[in-house]
Amino acid sequence: MSRLVEPLAFLELDGGGPRYGQIRRALLGAIGTGALAPGARLPTTRDLARQLECARNIVLLAYEQLVLEGYLTARPRTGTFVSSDLPRAPVANGRRQSSSGKDRIPLAPSGQRLAEASSQAWAITRRSRRYSIDFMYGQCEPDTRILRHLRRGFGNVLHEPFAFEYGNPAGDATLRAEVAQRLCGTRGVARSAEQIVITNGAQQALDICARLLLRTGDQALVEDPGYEAARAVFRAAGAVITPVAVDAEGLNPAALPPRAARTRLLYVTPSHQFPTGAILTAARRHQLRLWARSRGVFIIEDDYDGELRYHERAVRALAGLEPDDHVIYCGTFAKSLFPSLRLGYLALPDALVAPAANAKWLTDRGSSGLVQRLVRNLMTTGEYDRHIRRMQRRYLARRDALVHALTEHLGQEVEIAGDASGMHLVAWFPRLGPSHLDALVAACARRDVGVYPIARHALQPLGRAGLIMGYGLVDERAIDRGVRTLAAKYRKIRPA
Ligand SMILES: Cc1ncc(COP(=O)(O)O)c(C=O)c1O
């Protein structure tokens, strides 16, 4: 039977010396360039010999040599694999790659900005280690019930007409209508289905806004402390980042610059300030809108966890106060469902809808039609509403458990803030300085408990020590155990 695809079709022999040595060098080259990644399975010696038109023993010899050198691992009755822990720096075509950086490719200035801005922000948000009790914020796990619906739903979606075609880059029409209806009902945002553009998470929504609105050298105002991934997007688009101070009532309008000649946009998280958790007061919302409107500045409202609220009266979104062509609303399914879905949306003023849809087409021709259909079906069947109610109960119980544990184990030593919504709160430690806090974080890490300083989200020194504590990954029992460890370590570290 003939084979259509060669097992390692890209493998080229250099023709120098014995055949087994050529095969060894070619495989090393593929490992060096990453074409054969750590853990990748190699073809059987028989298949590779057939492809290279040589005797099987020759391939066997090359494999054995690489196993001896540690580049390959042979597992009896399973196969031969590229080693997960390669012995030394990868080798390309038998030659070690230069690490001098001379062969680095010079990037365009915009590319350089993009890469630098992203790597700084990514370093902050990256989860470098998984702890058995992890108060990591911004992460959550879906419940088993919604997973069942998603599994079944995915099967159904595959049978829908046009499921495999490109769709409207602005998004699935029914999903846009569902999002618009929900935004109106739960957040008071009166924008029509046509004003919704579906994106790959809030991140792409912010990127599209930045690309459409910012010129090089424009000022972008951001909350401080604030969301580094938004800052990075604006910086990458060429903007100058200007921090605006945040206090217990959210962004302080008194700290806004009086003149705004080159200010193009202002990024805020009014419903649950990231990371402090403050809720922007009604008076400040009003002031902010007046300030922006009178200066022609766009407000980007990131309502990243607006679905999860634990107080009686829902705070309306900033975009929901009254129709305003200067407010862009941005939402995500990362918290209400889970981050890897990569689905979010923009609710835009009319004049920005077509440019945003065009930008979306150019960037990726639209978000995954299958994923959009899946979420749309959850919404049209009412399952999404039921899921949100379940999640509100789940996270309320965890929030209460965290507040209770902090109060019980740390008492007056801790001040709790930002716990009215979302999946994180802030624990401030008035008696600790920044170096004590670092020691506390390290001591907890040694006990396999992950806690994270809020200071890493700040541009200016905060002047106080605090932890941003997420409860998306920890249940009530883990919360109590984790806070006990935190309190025990705190007592050892706290200044006398
Ligand atoms: C302030 C803020 N906005 C948005 C997001 C979510 O972004 P995305 O939808 O791109 O996952 C997060 C995630 O942690 C966040 O903290």
pLDDT at 2 over 70: no
Q: Determine if ligand 1 sits within 6 Å of the CB of residue 202.
A: yes
> Which position has the higher pLDDT, 495 or 50?
50
- So what's the pLDDT on residue 40? 87
Q: How confident is the model at residue 313 (pLDDT cuts 50, 70, 90)?
A: low
The rounded radius of gyration (Å) of the Cα atoms in the chain is: 27
Write out the H or E segment, with its range, that includes residue 30: helix 19-33
CA of 42 to the centre of ligand 1 (A): 39
Average pLDDT over residues 365-381: 97
Average pLDDT over residues 426-436: 91
Q: Chain centroid to CA 34: how far?
A: 25
Most informative mutation of 122, 197, 203 for ligand 1 (most atoms within 8 A of CB) = 203
Q: Distance between CA atoms of 272 and 79, rounded to whole angstroms?
A: 52
- So what's the pLDDT on residue 93? 47
Q: Distance between CA atoms of 452 and 45, rounded to whole angstroms?
A: 49
pLDDT at 98 over 80: no
Most informative mutation of 125, 209, 222, 227 for ligand 1 (most atoms within 8 A of CB) = 227
Q: Tell the residue nearest (CA) to atom 16 of ligand 1.
A: 138
Q: Distance between CA atoms of 428 and 416, rounded to whole angstroms?
A: 6
Q: Determine if ligand 1 sits within 6 Å of the CB of residue 269.
A: yes
Q: Tell the residue nearest (CA) to atom 5 of ligand 1.
A: 304
Q: Distance between CA atoms of 478 and 76, rounded to whole angstroms?
A: 41
The values of phi and psi at residue 251, to 5°, are -60, 135
The values of phi and psi at residue 138, to 5°, are 75, 5
CA-nearest of 122, 114, 360 to 233 is 114
Which residues face 427 on adjacent strands?
Answer: 416, 467
Q: Tell the residue nearest (CA) to atom 4 of ligand 1.
A: 304
Of 19-23, 300-304, 488-492, minimum mean pLDDT range: 19-23
Q: Determine if ligand 1 sits within 6 Å of the CB of residue 490.
A: no
- So what's the pLDDT on residue 207? 98
CA of 312 to the centre of ligand 1 (A): 24
Q: Determine if ligand 1 sits within 6 Å of the CB of residue 369.
A: no
Q: Determine if ligand 1 sits within 6 Å of the CB of residue 306.
A: no
CA of 73 to the centre of ligand 1 (A): 40
DSSP string, 51-113: HHTS-HHHHHHHHHHHHHHTSEEEETTTEEEE-SS-SSS-EETTEEPP-SSTTPPPPPHHHHH
The predicted model scores a pTM of 0.83
Q: Distance between CA atoms of 389 and 36, rounded to whole angstroms?
A: 46
CA-nearest of 303, 324, 128 to 230 is 303
Q: How confident is the model at residue 7 (pLDDT cuts 50, 70, 90)?
A: low
CA of 398 to the centre of ligand 1 (A): 20
- So what's the pLDDT on residue 445? 95
Q: How confident is the model at residue 16 (pLDDT cuts 50, 70, 90)?
A: confident
Q: Which residues contact 185 (CB under 8 A, 6 or more apart)?
A: none
Q: Determine if ligand 1 sits within 6 Å of the CB of residue 227.
A: yes
pLDDT at 6 over 80: no
Q: Determine if ligand 1 sits within 6 Å of the CB of residue 304.
A: yes
Average pLDDT over residues 18-47: 88
- So what's the pLDDT on residue 298? 97
Q: How high does pLDDT run on average in the chain?
A: 91
Share of the chain above pLDDT 90, in %: 72
Q: Distance between CA atoms of 119 and 313, rounded to whole angstroms?
A: 39
Q: Read off the pLDDT of residues 475-487 as tens digits, 9 standing for 90 and up.
A: 999 999 999 999 9
- So what's the pLDDT on residue 161? 92
**Which residue, chain included where needed, has tokens 């196993």?**
67
CB 205, CB 346: distance < 8 Å: yes
DSSP string, 184-214: HHHH-----GGGEEEESHHHHHHHHHHHHHP
**Which residue, chain included where needed, has tokens 């305003």?**
324
Most informative mutation of 140, 204, 223, 274 for ligand 1 (most atoms within 8 A of CB) = 274
CB 133, CB 444: distance < 8 Å: no
CA of 12 to the centre of ligand 1 (A): 45
Write out the H or E segment, with its range, that includes residue 175: helix 173-187
Q: How confident is the model at residue 234 (pLDDT cuts 50, 70, 90)?
A: very high
Identity of the amino acid at 46: R
Most informative mutation of 246, 308, 332 for ligand 1 (most atoms within 8 A of CB) = 332
Q: Read off the pLDDT of residues 200-222 as tens digits, 9 standing for 90 and up.
A: 999 999 999 999 999 999 999 99
Q: Tell the residue nearest (CA) to atom 3 of ligand 1.
A: 304
Sign of CA dihedral 375, 380, 381, 383: positive
